[in-house]
Amino acid sequence: MTTTRSTGTPAPTTAPTTVRELAVEGAYEFTPKVFPDRRGLFVTTYQQPQFTEASGHAFPVFQTCQSQSSRGVVRGVHFTATPPGMAKHVTCGRGRALDFVVDLRVGSPTFGEWDTVELGQDTFRSTYLPVGVGHVFVALEDDTTMVYLMSGPYVAQHELAVSPLDPALALPLTLDGVEPVMSERDVAAPKLAQALEAGILPDYATCRELERAL
């Protein structure tokens, strides 16, 4: 069987998966083949050979985490201080979420830009966020469960945030009739321009070096 990029280029792997490069440089969307039958379904949400072919580098999984959210919950825009930096692979095992990748890397050709993918239990689509790229999502249904593969450990003092409601980003996070539900940390997070002025945003060249070293 083959892996097929959105460009139509085939490559060997264990199960058909469509790969699409997102508008943020180095970020990808993966849509796997789902195998349903009378018992339910089976799907492979991450394959190292297919990932390496698409991205050009490996992705060592250091830990796996999950979050569960009610409809209207917004989590993000989160990123990791660089160094040490962290890459993430995100999928939705239950419910639906609008998932965003936000380029926070100073010097990146797509700095300040974002792209979005709807993740859910129907497609089991996933997103890959390279080192230095911010992550935020809004849960579209109750009991939305997000699964994160991470390239490094969670260290509280390294985890930073930019406001998801920053008008400069203009992320469409508000659902009809539902006010965003956010943590105190995310409500108090600086806007992108404030984070840039404070010098807390990742450096693009450093992020690329750390990415190649994964």
Report pLDDT digits (tens) over 27-38. Answer: 999 999 999 999
Looking at the domain 58-212, which fold is it? Jelly Rolls (2.60.120)
Q: Where are the domains of the chain?
A: 58-212
Q: Give the mean model confidence (pLDDT) for residues 181-209.
A: 97
Active-site annotation holds for 158: no
3-class state of residue 121 by DSSP: coil
Of 28, 46, 78, 89, the active-site residue reads 78
Helices and strands of the chain, counted as H and E runs: 4, 15
Q: Would residue 148 show up in a list of annotated catalytic residues for this protein? A: yes
Specify the pLDDT at position 15. Answer: 61
DSSP-assigned letters across all residues of 55-69: HSS-----EEEEEEE
Q: Closest Cα partner for 82 from 105, 59, 62, 108?
A: 105
> What is the rounded average pLDDT for all residues in the chain?
92
For 52-104, the pLDDT digits (tens) are 999 999 899 999 999 999 999 999 999 999 999 999 999 999 999 999 999 99
Choosing from 28, 46, 128, 148, which is the catalytic residue? 148
* Residue 177 confidence (pLDDT): 83
Q: Report the run of H or E that residue 119 belongs to, with start and end.
A: strand 114-120
